[in-house]
Amino acid sequence: MSILVLDIGTTSMRGILYEKDGRKLAVSRKKNHLIFLGDSLIEEDPDEFTGNAADIICDLLADGEADVEAVAVTSQRSSIIPVDRNGKPLLSAIMWQDTRNREICDELSAYNHELFQMTGAEVSTVFSGSKMTWVRRNQKEIYEKVYKFLNIPEYVCFFMTGEFVSDLTYGSRTGLMNLRTGKWDPDILKLYEVEERHLCRLIEPGQTAGYVTENFAALTGLKKGIPVIHCGGDQQCAAVGHGILFAGDLSITVGTGAFIAADVDELPDPLPSGMIFNCSSVRGKYTAETNVLSCGAALDWCARELYGMDHTDYGILEAELNKENFVSSCLVVPYFSGRGAPDWDHDARAVFSGITTATRRSEIFKSIMESIFMEIAGQIERISETVPVKDIRIGGGMTASGVLNQLQADIYGRPVHVTKDPEATAFGCLITALCGMGRYASAKEAYDDLAVKDEEIFEPDLQKTEQYREKRKEMNHLYETIRKGRKS
């Protein structure tokens, strides 16, 4: 018997068929296609998510030999799809990077202190609650037809099971759930103008969301009636997959955005500022998280706009970075999609400084990568003030580049551990599912039993670390100067 994991990312979806001993039996991937509409309006066709899910499962079951016991789902977290009573989309998916809700967030930010203590996060364009508010205020005809506001995993799980169910990790990314009670909060819902009837029932991560319907079984070859398990958001699962299971362990996932997560056993009271607190994929635990909204997305932009690539070729880009074996004299403020936690400056934009006629394309490219990792270094320092950081493990698509991994170690001033398994998110999803099914008593027991203990460690060049520390001060000063100018 095997477990089929669906890992729904922002720009791709993966399916992995696992044996219960953690061995991969088969892998299938499909691309998602973001639709950029200008003015930071970013959407996606909902049918692409369900179509890719069905195609991936068909691919994995093509040889007819797999005996799938359960489907486990993890996903990107804060996009929304308004649907009618039959689960039919009423609009395209409004993606998590979309900032059409920024005026609403500016309005709600007056309540930041109170909301942070209740929900674990200040108001942000990223979180889905204010996107629902935007639909209510700006798409009134659509709003009248809304039965549920679904995020991507809720939508895909409904497609498989016919049930409208979510889990606490996704609830903690809406801005609408009380983090201490694990329930939709009526006062917050009133503030956001969101009706609880439009939200899914919440369950613990690792619990069953529903069972494969006859229609979905016929479409894919899965057995009717097997459980579909909500295992939590992609960053929560990535932390579990990296073995981030004890206070002081820190995970950095460098994908489309960069997400930095540390394990937290109990919520502090009051919550310290400068971070986001979410429910963990490990039942009863939490994560302290910060983020950088453009990471791999900025790398892809460099590949496309600086180098004319149709797809990101790490071999060519590594050769370009190797031309610049020093700290770049070019300076970049890296907010291609606004600034993330804790400031949530959705009007921030990327800024280039120090460029002359002698500046090479490769130097501009390296300075962009430096700036992203310098921003992450600042986030690590913020988390360290509350949770002393011991080990740093990194994962995500950008860890395919050894040059970028070394650059991270140099900028963070700490060793970084890179797992040889690039699918930490899916592996964490597997662990959560097996714990939920009662196969293991704890995530640690499952990790110790199943994880491949094969990693590469990149040691920092501390001389460069000090140079980057000074450069980060310059970057932050430039950002603050520009921000003050915008607000004056």
Least confident of 113-122, 174-183, 202-211, 379-388: 379-388
Q: Alpha-carbon distance 88 to 83, whole Å?
A: 5
| Residue 301, pLDDT above cutoff 90 | yes
What domains are defined for the chain?
Answer: 2-236 (3.30.420.40)
Give me the pLDDT at residue 338, please. 86
Q: What percent of the chain clears pLDDT 70, i.e. is strictly above it? A: 100
Q: Of 77, 454, 417, 443, nearest to 240 (Cα)?
A: 443
Q: Alpha-carbon distance 155 to 93, whole Å?
A: 10
Contact assessment for residue 280 and residue 35, using Cβ atoms and an 8 Å cutoff: no
Retrieve residue 91's tokens. 């609009």
| Pairing of β 276-279 and β 258-264 | unpaired
As a residue count, the chain comes to: 488
Q: Alpha-carbon distance 49 to 322, whole Å?
A: 38
Averaged pLDDT for residues 384-404: 87
Give me the pLDDT at residue 177, please. 98
Q: Alpha-carbon distance 263 to 274, whole Å?
A: 16
| Residue 342, pLDDT above cutoff 70 | no
| Sheet architecture: strand order including 24-31 | 24-31, 12-19, 2-8, 68-75, 227-233, 208-211
Q: Give the chain's mean pLDDT.
A: 93
Give me the pLDDT at residue 1, please. 80
Give me the pLDDT at residue 273, please. 83
- Determine the 3-state secondary structure of 162 from DSSP: coil
Position 11 confidence tier, pLDDT thresholds 50, 70, 90: confident
